[in-house]
Amino acid sequence: MADNSNPDIVYTKVDEAPELASASLLPIIQRFAAAAGVSIGTKDISLAGRILATFPDRLKDDQRVTDDLAELGKLVKQPEANVIKLPNISASVPQLVAAVRELQGQGFDIPDYPDDPKTDEEKEVRARYDAIKGSAVNPVLREGNSDRRAAAPVKKFAQNNPHRMGEWTSDSKTRVASMSDNDFFSNEKSATLDKAATAKIVLETSGGETVLKDGVSYPEGTVVDATYMSAKALDAFLADEIEKTKAEGVLFSLHMKATMMKVSDPIIFGHAVKEWLKPVFEKYGDEMKAAGVNPNSGLGDLLERVKDKPEILEAIEKTRGTRPPMYMVDSDRGITNLHVPSDVIIDASMPALIRSGGKGWGPDNKEHDAVCVIPDSSYAPVYDETIKFFKANGKLDPATAGTVQNLGLMAQKAEEYGSHPTTFEIPEDGTVKMVLEDGTVLHEHKVEKGDIWRSASARKAPIEDWVNLAIERQKATGYRAIFWLDENRAHDAELISFVKPILEAKGVADKFEIMAPREATRASLETITKGENTIAITGNVLRDYLTDLFPILELATSAKMLSIVKLMNGGGLFETGAGGSAPKHVQQLQSENHLRWDSLGEFCALGESFKFLGDSKDNARARVLGETVETATQGILDHGRSPSRKVGEPDNRDSHYWFARYWAEALAAQSDDAALAEEFGPIAKALAENEEKITGELAAVQGKPADTGGYYHPDDKKLASVMRPSATLNAIMG
């Protein structure tokens, strides 16, 4: 059994489809690991677990849980850390509210999420919930920089079994639209601190000075940025693109990341909702506000709050009739691009559209060209250049394409993803200043009411670690290596001042190129089209975007990537891929008891984790486990044992049976550890002899609804019953 007090490997408990799959896979992993004396424990970083850990004062003794995220935050700073991290929910407000309702329904006395806190108590509750929203987990755990690449067996399989790609034509009307001025990119200022400093952020207005944030401390060498997006410029841009899209006769789509950019992007999303329904807000804005409407929560929430107001519903329908058709999340159910801010996540939605030949689903349930609205121009050029490349050259051929690996600067809340505590919607016209404790004004911007101002930073140690990782990776591979940095962007110019001296001091400056994202995109696409490989060395947001874009083009999915975080204090964090499609998978399990989630990312991470344990603890048996996991993973791919999408066909649970069987067979066949071979020989034999019985038991449960006892907080016993329905397999696994 796993030793949860001080396990060799920590496996995270998360949400949605990855957690459903864990209920089937983790017992198998623990059985194999135990044979090698390796303990595997769990820590709960699920949205429900984090909510419960936030309100211990409201719960009964038997309902209280430990703050596992805080414990993991301490662990990743230790050299012995070995954590397998599955994708967790980065909660938008609608998701948070839904999870709270579910927990309340299960008897947990937690407070409602206050939309508009007025009392001190409501403000305190809101502050607790706000700490859970968005990317609350990743900045805590990612105490190192990111090394993401396609595992060799996965890339080989993708080339031998190329996935379907949509056709690109030169006359496609699909395009990217972004602001040309007054956005985060154009207004950015950046400076590197020559000594440790503490800053306060103030808003100076005609009525005096308001402190927006005090006591923001930075160590020496930190790159500190500040910027803002003009609300007026944003609204004008959105209005213009709505009209242009209508004239072009294509779909209107907005692509954001409201889950990670949990302060700024929901506000931008809300501007799009208001602009889309501008005549309705002009006439009924006060009435809708009184009904609790917050455009930042999306069109779905708005419609629910005005469902008993026929005159408003009529005005909405009338306005919709004057708008272009909208890109749909689910055309069968009428879920539009503007319904829920967390439904359209740019790093998943844009690659899917590009892979489809620039097509998105419209309200008529047919595919159409689309205008892809990405308001801020910081990273929009990546997608714009990709679309232009495929219009000119046609679709990528996965059978011959090379690969783009990624090294991402993300340690210690680097860059925009660490900006939540220092992002503000400006309450009135004035000047925002970042003032150091000695009175120095580091940055200042003249702003207007409604503008979105934010500050982000990147520390010296992570930057230097990132450059050194790049040097190691380039030396190990010999691949073309490009730093995706724009000398005309304030933040990137500061990073370049770190990068160049390190490369020169190490004598490797000739091995690296530095390009702005647009040029780097084209160079990378040209490289992989020739069948060659490249390393993209990027900041945090581009790390996120590119490790979906290129894998979805190369492999059809980003869930099969090796994602290794080399923790700066010596430990390892092994991530298993993205979870963007997880909600649909859960819905299918609940209605049809079929889970199409592919655990290949977990298999890849598991092999790396065991090998890391073998090296860091000089544990030969752990190394054998890691090597045989790779053999089992190759078996899954070579024999087509990944889950099918359709009910009645093999699903996630079947793939776990095959993984266990191939793993046992590999352990039985290896000669490095005779005791492991002897132990797993009979298990491999039993799994093979009982194939028909086990697969029959797994197939028998499909086709009818499954009850796991909750979406965000399932019941452990019910979940185990659903995900481990083969008594024969369970008996063999013990």
Q: Is the pLDDT of residue 351 over 80?
A: yes
Phi, psi of 424 (to 5 degrees): -140, 140
Give the residue-averaged pLDDT of 558-573.
86
Dump pLDDT digits (tens) for 353-403.
999 999 999 999 999 999 999 999 999 999 999 999 999 999 999 999 999
Dump pLDDT digits (tens) for 653-669.
999 999 999 999 999 99
Q: Please give the single-letter amino acid code of residue 258.
A: A
Residue 476: strand, helix, or coil? helix
| pLDDT band at residue 450 under the 50/70/90 scheme | very high
Give the residue-averaged pLDDT of 708-725.
97
| pLDDT on residue 4 | 58
Residues 625 and 147: their CA atoms lie apart, in Å, by 22
| pLDDT on residue 91 | 84
| pLDDT on residue 578 | 65
| pLDDT on residue 504 | 98
Residue 143: strand, helix, or coil? coil
Tokens of residue 243, six digits: 């009209």
Residues 493 and 502: their CA atoms lie apart, in Å, by 15
| pLDDT on residue 156 | 86
Under 8 Å between Cβ of 255 and 245: no
Give the residue-averaged pLDDT of 133-144.
85
Percentage of the chain modeled with pLDDT above 90: 88
pTM over 0.95: no
Neighbouring CB atoms inside 10 A of 121's CB total: 11
Q: What is residue 111's DSSP assignment?
A: P
| pLDDT band at residue 557 under the 50/70/90 scheme | confident
| pLDDT on residue 289 | 95
Helix (H), strand (E) at residue 163: none
**C-alpha distances out from residue 399 to 67, 151, 167, 395, Å:** 46, 16, 15, 12
Q: What is the mean pLDDT of the chain?
A: 95
Residues 257 and 265: their CA atoms lie apart, in Å, by 6
| pLDDT on residue 230 | 98
| pLDDT on residue 218 | 97
Q: Is the pLDDT of residue 3 over 50?
A: no
Give the residue-averaged pLDDT of 521-548.
97
Dump pLDDT digits (tens) for 481-498.
999 999 999 999 999 999
Q: How many residues does the chain have?
A: 734
Dump pLDDT digits (tens) for 685-705.
999 999 999 999 999 999 999
> Can you tell me which residue has the tokens 């501008």?
278
| pLDDT on residue 1 | 32
Under 8 Å between Cβ of 54 and 128: yes
| pLDDT band at residue 580 under the 50/70/90 scheme | low
| pLDDT on residue 561 | 77
| pLDDT on residue 2 | 36
